[in-house]
Amino acid sequence: MQNDLVRLFEFIEPADENLSTYSYRTHELLIRSCIEAEANFKAILKENTYTPVNRKGDPIHDKQWNLPPAS
């Protein structure tokens, strides 16, 4: 992912003037980094024996740990 970011910076200078720049490569890199962050969060929580519960107080199986969709 770092190499992809460096490659992206060959085409898009990381500057305020380019904040509105859009490409499928930036989209792909953003999605991949979000997926990677979510996987790391889940691994850290699991390693620290975190057990989430639903609104009823029942434990949620780790395969159902997902970030809620953005509203």
pLDDT in tens, the chain (71 residues): 899 999 999 989 999 999 999 889 999 999 999 999 988 988 898 888 777 887 888 877 766 666 666 65
- Indicate the number of domains in the chain: 1
Domain annotation covers residue 60: yes
Domain annotation covers residue 70: no
pLDDT at 69: 64
Domain annotation covers residue 69: no
Domain annotation covers residue 52: yes
Domain annotation covers residue 71: no
Tell me the one-letter amino acid at 17: E
pLDDT at 60: 78
pLDDT at 63: 67
Domain annotation covers residue 39: yes
Query: 8 lies in which domain range?
Result: 2-64
pLDDT at 49: 79
Q: What is the DSSP letter of 15?
A: S
Tell me the one-letter amino acid at 41: F
Domain annotation covers residue 17: yes
Interior CA angle at 2 toward 42 and 5, to 5°? 115
